[in-house]
Amino acid sequence: MEASLFRRPVANLLSGRAQCLLALNAASSRHESSYRRSKSRLNVKPEPSFLPSYSKTPVQQDHIIFNPPSSAPSVLHTPLKFLPKEDKRKQLLVATAQKFSSSQMRLPPPIRAKPKVPHHHLSDADIAEIVKLKQQDPDQWTNTKLARKFNCSSLFVSICLTQCGVDNAERKKEMQEKFEAVKARWGPRRRKAKEEQDRRFKLAYRGD
């Protein structure tokens, strides 16, 4: 038994496979080498307070243990901010929240989404400039480029252009055709992945 255990890595080394070099390194093996061993190793005794009252060594306690499995919070639990002023729960919860607020000052890191742009900083002249640039060279000045130049959102650019009567139906059609051409080149795996992504997002908008 012992001999065979020792001999195996050497034999593997001789066979020239690269992965056994890693296997020699004790720190790199995260698991037991067999299912049975890893299972028996993971079979940890539970916390004595979690043992049921009918077990052989019950722990005497006079409090309720609330340890639900991790799951998404229910939408039926209204956050404190969303409670109307006249609701009786508001006063109770505000008192509790104040008690714990000092320790809860550190917030988790934000998602690095699109950089926030200032609002209401463009004048009428700027908007006229946006429209002029777009009409001069619509292929060169896309909405994204205009947004970057004027430091505003591309949604704002599109609102400006539609309100000033710039007709972008042709460009939209062109872009759609381009996208269709790209889609036609997709293979079965990418197409399937995209379809699944679409379906997932649809579910996300419903919150299912």
Establish if 102 lies at the interface with another protein (CB under 8 A). no
Which residues, numbered 150-169, are part of the site for another protein (CB under 8 A)?
Answer: none
Q: What is the DSSP string of 136-148?
A: H-TTTS-HHHHHH
CB of 109 to another protein, least distance (A): 6
- Tokens (6 digits) for 50: 């979690």
Q: CB within 8 A of 50, min separation 6: which ones?
A: 65, 67
> Nearest approach, Cβ of 80 to another protein (angstroms)?
6
By the rule CB under 8 A, 68 interacts with another protein: no
- C-alpha 147/C-alpha 114 separation (Å) is 12
Q: Is 27 in the site for another protein (CB under 8 A)?
A: no
Q: Pick between residue 135 and residue 162 the one whose CB is nearest to another protein.
A: 162
Residues 112-141 interacting with another protein (rule: CB under 8 A):
113
> Which of residues 105, 125, 182, 184 is near another protein by CB under 8 A?
105
One residue of 80, 92, 94, 175 binding another protein per CB under 8 A: 80
Q: Which helix (H) or strand (E) holds 106?
A: none
User: Residue 197 and residue 52: Cα distance in Å, rounded?
Assistant: 44
